Amino acid sequence: MPSMPLTDHVEALLAGPSPLPIVAAGDPVLRRPADPFDGQLADELLARLIEAMRVTMHAAPGVGLAAPQIGLPLRLAVIEDAANVPEEVRDARGRVPQPFRVLINPSYEDAGGRQVAFYEGCLSVPGYQAVVARHERVRLRALDERGRAVDEEVGGWPARIVQHETDHLAGTLYLDRAELRSLSSTQTQAAVERWAQLTPQLAAQELGFGLPGSG
């Protein structure tokens, strides 16, 4: 059966419920490289899609959402993080506020030579979290919603968000990069609190896995 044209697919999504349904792990769309955006959508339709993704991200709630997570094989993602966390968390994780932004055809590369590890989750893998080592700083290249070039260095938690969402566009889930011995349920408060420390060092000690720089 031929696939639905992208414009029709987007129109059908936007005609449906809001917030948009989020695709869960196991759907092939999450495992295939997404198509580059090269003007397949008219400006007005792209703007409507971006707004729907923003609403869906907020409702989830999450700090990023990639188009494959709503079933669209398109290299498009949105990110935003109010970073409403205690100061000690902000300092330990480099979690600073990120205004709403759109990333079209994003890519990243290491810009610091150092990796850091923290617990991470995903809207498409509900109920779990795991420790992922990622680049502390990355060079982000993309286009924004107006087609303007983005070329900047991003560090701390914003760099983690950029890597997570850009990975989605390559068919990669965070679990592919995670230390699976750290996999932890988020279904009970006790399980969440057990590993709620500023860093995953205690989890590494008790669950028996290594962290970057630990030898």
Place of tokens 């989830």: 60
Per-residue model confidence (pLDDT) at position 155:
97
Closest to 13 (Cα-Cα) out of 46, 62, 58, 61: 46
b/e map of 165-185 (b: 16 or more CB within 10 Å)?
A: bbbbbebbbbbebbbeebebe
| 165: annotated active-site residue | yes
Per-residue model confidence (pLDDT) at position 4:
81
Among the options 80, 165, 179, 193, which is catalytic? 165
Q: ∠ CA 99-103-107 to the nearest 5 degrees?
A: 125
135 is in an annotated binding site: no
List the pLDDT tens digit at each of the 215 positions of the chain: 357 899 999 999 999 999 999 999 999 999 999 999 999 999 999 999 999 999 999 999 999 999 999 999 999 999 999 999 999 999 999 999 999 999 999 999 999 889 999 999 999 999 999 999 999 999 999 999 999 999 999 999 999 999 999 999 999 999 999 999 999 999 999 989 999 999 999 999 999 999 997 65
Per-residue model confidence (pLDDT) at position 215:
56
9 is in an annotated binding site: no
Per-residue model confidence (pLDDT) at position 1:
38
Q: Would you kindly state where each structural domain of the chain is located, as residue ranges?
A: 6-115+137-172
pTM, two decimal places: 0.95
CATH of 6-115+137-172, one of 3.40.50.1820, 1.10.287.3510, 3.90.45.10, 3.30.70.260: 3.90.45.10
